[in-house]
Amino acid sequence: MALDYPFRDPALAALALTHRSAGRPNNERMEFLGDALLGAIVAEMLYETHPKAAEGEMSRLRAQLVNGQALASLARELELGDQLKLGSGELKSGGFRRDSILADAFEALVAAVYLDGGFEACRETVRALFVDRVAALPRSSKDAKTRLQEWLQGQGWPLPQYELVATEGEEHARVFEVNCVVTEPVAVVAPGRGSSRRLAEQDAAEVVLTRLAGVQEGS
């Protein structure tokens, strides 16, 4: 499958596929721009297709779609490995097959489309590439505590612990403060507040899900 975008300036596409091992100029700056564009456009798609999803759930879904392995898979579908310009060392070590190099090239190519045709052309190109992937995502209606527990169990990590920190206010207007504590994949202690202990735990679990999504995106 080839990228369905006709470049007016083919030099931009060539630069996007030039790894730093090949010298300068290379695609490092374009990777930075492409990463930001991808995040925004995929976020827009999730906002449209998951109208009931909370911020934490959308962050986790975006992390599933925009990560090194997923982007490398897209790069392989576009056969970018055969078009990469690599230095001799990377060529000998099979850099054209490496996930990190392929993912970076894909991000840079997204930036190249933006620089060549503007935001709307970039948006249309990215949405076409991700539409089936977004459609395949689960549409969860589960609460935050359930989603957090199931996600941790699926990774083989310890279950979260909930600690009551404080109870404030009169009995008819009580506010509960709870901490949700997880130890893997990173240590997180997240606060939550609610008019019942259960709602405070849900609030804290949502905070943990958001933070773990950020960890996944940065990995």
Q: What is the pLDDT of residue 128?
A: 95
Reported as a pLDDT band with limits 50, 70 and 90, residue 56 is confident
Indicate the DSSP class of residue 200: H
Residue 110 · residue 93 · CB < 8 Å: no
Reported as a pLDDT band with limits 50, 70 and 90, residue 59 is confident
Q: Which tens digit of pLDDT belongs to each residue from 64-74?
A: 899 888 999 99
Q: Which tens digit of pLDDT belongs to each residue from 153-207?
A: 888 889 999 999 999 888 777 899 999 999 988 899 999 998 889 889 988 998 8
Dist CA 190 CA 162 (whole Å): 10
DSSP 140-194: ----HHHHHHHHHHHHTPPPPEEEEEEEES-GGG-EEEEEEEE-SSS-EEEEEEE
Active site residue 203: no
Q: What is the pLDDT of residue 125?
A: 96
Active site residue 107: yes
Q: What is the pLDDT of residue 218?
A: 55
Catalytic residue among 35, 57, 177, 201: 35
Residue 201 · residue 193 · CB < 8 Å: no
Residue 36: is its pLDDT beyond 90? Answer: yes
Q: What is the pLDDT of residue 140?
A: 60
Catalytic residue among 31, 57, 104, 107: 107
Residue 136: is its pLDDT beyond 60? Answer: yes
Q: What is the pLDDT of residue 132?
A: 92
Q: What is the pLDDT of residue 219?
A: 52
Other C-beta atoms lying within 10 Å of the C-beta of residue 152: 19
Residue 74 · residue 129 · CB < 8 Å: yes
Question: What is the Cα Rg of the chain in Å?
Answer: 21
Q: What is the pLDDT of residue 42?
A: 97
Q: Which tens digit of pLDDT belongs to each residue from 79-129?
A: 998 899 998 888 778 877 889 999 999 999 999 999 999 999 999 999 999
Q: Which tens digit of pLDDT belongs to each residue from 205-217?
A: 988 988 887 766 5
Reported as a pLDDT band with limits 50, 70 and 90, residue 44 is very high
Reported as a pLDDT band with limits 50, 70 and 90, residue 139 is low
Top pLDDT among 196 and 32 is at: 32
> How far does the chain reach from its first CA to its final CA, in angstroms?
27
